[in-house]
Amino acid sequence: MLSRLIVISANSLKGCGPLGAGLVHASRSLHTSPQSLAPLPPLPETGGKVRHGIFPEELFQLLYPKTGVTGPYMLGTGLLVYMLSKEIYVINHETFAAASIGAVIIYGVKKFGPSVASLADKINEEKMAKAQEVKDLAISSLTEAIEDEKKEQCRNNVAMLLETNYRERLHMVTNEVKRRLDYQIALQNLHHRLEQEHMVNWVEKSVIGSITPQQEKESIAKCITDLKALAKATQARAAV
């Protein structure tokens, strides 16, 4: 039964001193739970519950179903009376010494217990608060960095939109100006061509108008004589 107690309490004794490491390995050999050394299981926040300072609450819970609330007290009294009456425990001077040191311990714990415990708790709280502060600072600085990055991205997008818009409008402006200038050039060309045609027409008309009918007849007669002469020459060449 004692070995069972040791095995059960091995889990809770893990933290205490050099026995702890040995107990971890010893309890591992029983394959009761998938125990691993990392990540470490969390330490209990407070010690086990005790009644009257020494007796663990588990004893009272153990005996409650069979013997009710007064069970453990009857057990304690019975044991004590048995040991005294059978002289298993003999009352001697050590008993008085034990009573005296017991009184000193109880007085010390009752008087200085809460203040010492609050001191230890305060130190632990400070340690935790410092670590928490570091963590919070890290988290807040990282969140700020994320926000800054987002703003940077926004700004980039907006800048790009503005740039694109500007370029579009510039393009439109250029096109419009070009169209206006092209129109002017076409207009000038047209003007030039019209003038030229008009001049040519006018010259032709004036030339044709200056030809009199007498001149026409003379030119036609000359043409006929020329033709005859040419025919004669060709005939002569053909006969040769």
Partner 1 sequence: MTLSLFDQFMSPTLLGIPLLALALTLPWVLMFKPGPRWAVNRLSTLQALFIKWFTKEIFQPMSLGGHKWAVLLTALVLFLITLNMLGLLPYTFTPTTQLSMNMAFAVPLWLATVIIGMRNQPNHSLAHLLPEGTPNLLIPILIMIETISLFIRPVALGVRLTANLTAGHLLIQLIATAAYVLFPIMPTVALLTSILLFLLTLLEVAVAMIQAYVFVLLLSLYLQENV
Contact positions vs partner 1 (CB under 8 A): 15-20, 40, 43, 47, 90-101, 103-104, 116-117, 119-121, 123-124, 127-128
Q: Which residues of 202-223 are buried (b: 16+ CB within 10 A; e: fewer)?
A: eeeeeeeeeeeeeeeeeeeeee
Q: How far is the CB of 71 from partner 1 (least distance, A)?
A: 28
β-bridge mates for residue 50, sequence order: 56
Q: Which is nearer to partner 1, 90 or 238 (CB)?
A: 90
Q: Which is nearer to partner 1, 37 or 146 (CB)?
A: 37
Q: Which is nearer to partner 1, 55 or 96 (CB)?
A: 96
Q: How far is the CB of 149 from partner 1 (least distance, A)?
A: 34
Q: How far is the CB of 59 from partner 1 (least distance, A)?
A: 22
**Cα gap 41→231, rounded to integer Å:** 135
Q: How far is the CB of 122 from partner 1 (least distance, A)?
A: 9
Tokens for 139? 């988290």
**Cα gap 230→240, rounded to integer Å:** 15
Position of tokens 């570091």? 134
Q: Which is nearer to partner 1, 98 or 200 (CB)?
A: 98
Q: Which is nearer to partner 1, 61 or 118 (CB)?
A: 118
**Cα gap 228→222, rounded to integer Å:** 10
**Cα gap 61→71, rounded to integer Å:** 10
Tokens for 162? 């503005």
Q: How far is the CB of 95 from partner 1 (least distance, A)?
A: 7
